[in-house]
Amino acid sequence: MSNDEFRDALSRLAAGVVLVTAREAPLDPDDPEGPAGEDVGMTATAFMSVSLDPPLVLVSVREGSRMDDLLDEQPLWAVSVLSESQRHVAGRFAMKGRISDRLLFEDIPYVRGEATGAPLVGGALATLECRTERRTQAGDHTLVIGRVLSAHVPGADGGPLTYFRGRYRQLG
């Protein structure tokens, strides 16, 4: 079986789209109130609930990616469940290094999570703040299991943004 055959077969499975975000640790560890590093974000469709008690979720990140490296050092991260009107957010953060992380967040409304300091996208259907419990290597990806520290449903309207057969879709 080729990689293309495998990818084509799995493209038939519809998936919800989330934005995983984290904030680099402070530039000076002795001054936690000082300037922090950049915000980093990554579009993901390989995201799922793992457990209700304790509340755990899992995201799969490409091994060696900036997000993988950051989550190896920074245990706090967040997830914004994107709505169908946020296709532009998903597309922007799926650009894989074609644009600097600082510019990725430009013009995208967000607030900082109280538990993690990570960006939470405004207008998302739901947001979760997490602390890494376990990291497991799986082929060319790292599976990151996080304990959910907070979950919010801000009341955004609309349906979820989904990904199916290589394109962002809406339910209906």
Q: Which pLDDT score is estimated for 11?
A: 85
What pTM was estimated for this model as a whole?
0.90
Per-residue tokens: 36: 């922090």
Q: Which pLDDT score is estimated for 107?
A: 87
Distance CA 43, CA 65 (A): 12
| Beta carbons within 8 Å of 101's beta carbon, 6+ residues apart | 38, 39, 40, 41, 66
Predicted confidence (pLDDT) per residue in 10-49, tens digit: 888 889 999 999 998 765 556 655 556 788 999 999 999 9
Name which of 159, 161, 158, 136 is nearest 146 in CA terms: 136
User: In what helix (H) or strand (E) does residue 71 lie, and over which residues does it extend?
Assistant: helix 66-73
Q: What DSSP character marks residue 107? A: T
Predicted confidence (pLDDT) per residue in 89-117, tens digit: 999 898 765 555 667 888 899 999 999 99
Strands (E), 39-125: 39-44, 47-51, 56-62, 76-81, 110-112, 119-121
CA angle 95, 35, 37 (to 5 degrees): 25
What does the CA dihedral 73, 137, 165, 1 come to, rounded to 10 degrees? 150
DSSP string, 128-170: EEEEEEEEEEETTEEEEEEEEEEEE-----S-BEEEETTEEEE
Q: What is the CATH number of domain 15-26+34-164?
A: 2.30.110.10
Task: Kindly tell me the sign of the dihedral angle through the C-alpha atoms of 114, 116, 122, 124.
Answer: negative
Predicted confidence (pLDDT) per residue in 62-73, tens digit: 999 989 999 999
Per the model's pLDDT, the better-predicted residue between 83 and 36 turns out to be 83
Please list the residues that pair with 56 across neighbouring strands: 51, 147
